[in-house]
Structure 1
């Protein structure tokens, strides 16, 4: 289950097309060399440096509507079931980035310190350990903690940059996840090349992840696979190509050592004028097959989603279909956001052989004189979950036969448009999930309030 505080936003904003004063052009674009060189315009190590960051107040309360989903330890060591858990954390990120040195090859440094303050410290309320509030193994909350979230060296030639160390990555197969008080990051080496106007390349190799709510680095493991199964290496390569002004495409491949090979294709297209009527179409497809020592057993999985979003001025109506073809979960790496499927919400709707359908509506208040304010609502339903034909040993799905579930939610977001608090965002969401007896995500309600305040010191 994706218990993300961005779940509602992902549900609704995935399909929002770009607003245009006139219909977006459908003309083809030729592949041409970039007109300029970022490195040729490098200001220098000191002249280009900056210090910035953000502080996020993250509150979430969950309540199970059936049996207890969580447990906690009292001070005397006794263990007790709980129908609810409440987490409240203030996370602050302070980032230093130097400019690139001048010359044919430019070098730069990046470092970021992360600090978390637990505002809710009651054992029974937090119900830890969990991935929201850092606790000791007995559930005793760690009042505050810090770590080095980013620390890397960059080298750039023209418009191609190599980054080595701990850094953020955002691709369909491995991506940082920023849905807690602090984000995750990855240790490794990556390259981004933007030598063409409408064609970019990514490549990388990573051996550790820095989790959202942990101080130490961890090996990679999958989100839905057997507990305790880990891997030391993730390799990926991909490209992003814009053949039309209205069409963007992505093609990626990843090897998770001894887990799987995963291939991704994505496309998004915009048509029309949102002042009158525009249509945004999104397609996402993943193919996953086992590899190496097959630590998660046999895997042969196809997952895809198709979304359509109609916008007329302030109103966006969207529908998304998602389907999993395979006798195991569609899986991705834990502590990443490497799932670009349209129906990845509070639940990922990614059970074996599952089909799901989502409807959503977004009201943008800018045309009514309140820019930055949005309201949204959605409902999604999944059915046909069947793991009885699974013959592997990495996923606990054999008890799922004819399982189904549904989810709905609503919320509001406001972003400050001007003044000293410009770009401060406040989001409040309520989500509810209901499941049949064998569906793994359970039946629960969740309320979240998240306030993010960006700042710049240099």
Structure 2
């Protein structure tokens, strides 16, 4: 591991001399300036600007535990049995209607999306439900087909500022939809996105329910890693995205989860050099989490960050990512969100108490070789130093974690159709292997996943 670290640092430091000789990415300062155009001024009308589109996704995953069984399934007599494998195969479809904005100083619009899922694998033992992949009854019997209203909202827009009220899709560093299943999650509440400046935008939002990926009903928010299952009635967020230089983007957010925690986030991404010769991309993500209110999650004082350094030469990108958790509990986030922008959030989140992790990854983009849309990737990540023995709360089951380690590697390929009637159709295949010490929570397993997504436009 020490050799891995020194090698990654040497590659990063050595890149500066090469980058200096390339045609550099512009480091020009961008003064803060108001936009000279207004999105609302371009409104074409409620009917004239409407669209009807959607997508259908075929989602398949096969998992195999390589040590102890990781899942259970119900037999017909109601007894629960261990299993070393789990298969989930679901066809998810989305039909989305969006009106145009009415004309005038303030424009109004609506959006609605119907979600539908069909369980292509319906064997109880195979699915090993209930889980968050295939919707089942409480006894693990799969529901063959189900639908729900995934999005349903009203929008009001003034200039370049839009207020959305209702069930919606949101993407911020701490409240973000997660789309890694057949259907994505969404949130019920109110959200304001303001982009009145050329290089600065502001987000404000408050939400009281989440629509999970594999459930028909709305749910209260709960945390991803809590062992007690406590719930909260509200999560609110505010943030700023700012681009001070052409090469640098930054984000600063705060989120208040009622009676859980206050969480603060800073993120930055910087590009130096020319990818045709050599470019260095640096990414920083930092989260600070502290308890608040009635402390349903107990005492929390957690600082977690990741730093990634990526070198790109034409079709090739090599990245080293360091991640560290400073706290006696998991770095935690809200369940059914993608509110973890850390570099080493993979099959495992590498977020155990006091955990350190390093990832090395390689991406090959086949566009320079005449096959645009085709990519290959390979990575290896290792986590160590997991120590929960100093934790004194009750929300997390970490006291037995003492020096735990784990590692993960994966290989994948993806292709996106570039033109024709199937333009933007994508197919991705991944194989991931995770190996863990006895008490580490993710277990030892292999997973093969194959996902095909076909978008379509009707109107």
Please tell me the TM-score bracket, short chain as reference.
over 0.9
- Give CA-to-partner distance per residue, 1:55-108, whole Å, 9 cap, x none: 000000000001111111111212211001000000000000000000000000
Task: Say whether 1:305 aligns with 2:306.
Answer: yes
Measured after TM superposition, the shift of residue 177 of structure 1 is: 0.1
Give the match's secondary structure for 2:104: coil
Structure 2 residue aligned with 1:77: 78
- Give CA-to-partner distance per residue, 1:284-306, whole Å, 9 cap, x none: 00000000000010000000000
Structure 1 residue aligned with 2:256: 255
Structure 2 residue aligned with 1:423: 424
Unpaired stretches in structure 1, ≥5 consecutive residues: 1-20
Structure 2 residue aligned with 1:8: none
- Report if aligned partners of 2:228, 2:396 keep a CA contact under 8 Å in 1: no
Calculate the TM-score normalised by the size of structure 2: 0.95
Give the match's secondary structure for 1:238: strand
- Report if aligned partners of 1:226, 1:296 keep a CA contact under 8 Å in 2: no
Structure 2 residue aligned with 1:414: 415
Determine the C-alpha separation between the residues in 2 that align with 1:382 and 1:23: 35
After superposition, where does 1:443-454 map in structure 2 within 5 Å?
A: 443-454=444-455
Give the match's secondary structure for 2:222: coil
Measured after TM superposition, the shift of residue 23 of structure 1 is: 3.1
After superposition, where does 1:166-185 map in structure 2 within 5 Å?
A: 166-185=167-186
Determine the C-alpha separation between the residues in 2 that align with 1:31 and 1:105: 25
Structure 1 residue aligned with 2:140: 139
Determine the C-alpha separation between the residues in 1 that align with 2:49 and 2:26: 36
Calculate the TM-score normalised by the size of structure 1: 0.95
Structure 1 residue aligned with 2:315: 314
Give the match's secondary structure for 1:381: strand
After superposition, where does 1:371-386 map in structure 2 within 5 Å?
A: 371-386=372-387
Measured after TM superposition, the shift of residue 22 of structure 1 is: 5.3
Measured after TM superposition, the shift of residue 282 of structure 1 is: 0.1
- Give CA-to-partner distance per residue, 1:1-57, whole Å, 9 cap, x none: xxxxxxxxxxxxxxxxxxxx9532101000000120000110100000000110000
Determine the C-alpha separation between the residues in 2 that align with 1:93 and 1:451: 14
- The alignment of Structure 1 onto Structure 2 pairs a total of residues equal to 438
Determine the C-alpha separation between the residues in 2 that align with 1:226 and 1:134: 22
Determine the C-alpha separation between the residues in 1 that align with 2:352 and 2:136: 30
After superposition, where does 1:86-235 map in structure 2 within 5 Å?
A: 86-235=87-236
Give the match's secondary structure for 1:95: strand
Task: Say whether 1:405 aligns with 2:406.
Answer: yes
CA RMSD across the alignment: 0.8
Determine the C-alpha separation between the residues in 2 that align with 1:164 and 1:316: 41
Determine the C-alpha separation between the residues in 1 that align with 2:329 and 2:196: 40
Determine the C-alpha separation between the residues in 1 that align with 2:81 and 2:384: 33
